[in-house]
């Protein structure tokens, strides 16, 4: 398997960051380096990353943008593959990353994302969403992909060809995956690669977040958004 770097984006994640770091250091196939993009943490997260020997990159802005933070981190990675891992997603097994990389090799994929399972602290809404979306069967997408970069491996050449679109702020992972499929690439869901993700897909039931995500989704699902929804979303 080709070597990989890790890209972690963080703001005030000390509640989970030590467990994430421990799960990462226990992988049977270790990374070349960890790039840690910090967005102004004040709880010791940045200092912890420095103690771990991570390459810390500061991303401090008045208007946080998911795509910008991802692109900034990707620019600092040098290995042919990059594991994108949320700072509160804890790898379940010692071969969680290896399973993603194997799927990338087998299916010659531009991106592979793994299965996210809830923790004992997840809300019922998050448990419902995670168990509904992340099933036990592998899926190979070639036209209309789902993709989630809380736990995913990205081919760096694919990212160089298609960086994340910083004109959108939300579902940048799905927009990226769709563009790669349009170019003849594959996206794979690998259920045998596992992480714990307490907060789930939709941050429980935050209406403001839901509205922002729906506005972004409207660009992908124009034919599925009915007239009433257009009026509500303001798109």
Digit-coded pLDDT (tens) for 29-86: 999 999 999 999 999 999 999 999 999 999 988 888 999 999 999 999 999 999 999 9
Identify the weakest region by mean pLDDT among 18-27, 107-116, 164-173.
164-173
| CA distance to 52, 106, 205, per residue, from 17 (Å) | 11, 31, 24
CATH of 4-204, one of 3.90.550.10, 3.40.50.10320, 1.20.1730.10, 2.60.40.10: 3.90.550.10
- Direct distance between the N- and C-terminal alpha carbons of the chain, in angstroms, rounded to an integer: 44
What is the maximal distance between C-alpha atoms in the chain? 53
pLDDT in tens, 97-140: 999 999 999 999 999 999 999 999 998 989 999 999 999 999 99
Parse the chain into domains and list their residue ranges: 4-204
What would you report as the CA-atom Rg of the chain, rounded to the nearest whole angstrom?
17
**CA–CA separation, 48 vs 15, rounded Å?**
12
**Residue 35 DSSP SS3:** strand
């Amino acid at each position: 398997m080709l070597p990989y770097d890790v890209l972690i984006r963080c703001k005030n994640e000390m509640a989970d960051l030590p467990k994430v770091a421990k799960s990462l250091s226990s992988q049977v196939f270790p990374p070349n380096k960890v790039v840690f993009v910090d967005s102004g943490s004040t709880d010791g997260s940045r200092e912890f990353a420095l103690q771990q020997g991570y390459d810390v990159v500061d991303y401090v802005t008045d208007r946080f943008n998911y795509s910008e933070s991802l692109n900034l981190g990707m620019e600092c990675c040098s290995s042919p593959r990059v594991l994108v891992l949320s700072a509160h997603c804890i790898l379940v097994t010692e071969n969680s990353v290896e399973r993603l990389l194997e799927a990338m090799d087998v299916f010659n994929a531009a991106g592979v994302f793994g299965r996210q399972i809830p923790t004992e602290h997840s809300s019922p809404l998050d448990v419902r969403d995670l168990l509904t979306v992340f099933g036990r069967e592998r899926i190979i997408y070639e036209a209309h992909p789902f993709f989630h970069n809380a736990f995913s491996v990205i081919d760096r050449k694919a990212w160089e060809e298609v960086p994340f679109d910083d004109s959108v702020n939300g579902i940048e992972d799905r927009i990226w995956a769709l563009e790669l499929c349009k170019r003849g690439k594959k996206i794979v869901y690998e259920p045998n690669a596992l992480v714990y993700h307490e907060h789930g897909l939709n941050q429980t039931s935050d209406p403001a977040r839901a509205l922002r995500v729906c506005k972004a989704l409207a660009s992908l699902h124009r034919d599925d958004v009915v007239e009433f929804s257009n009026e509500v979303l303001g798109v």
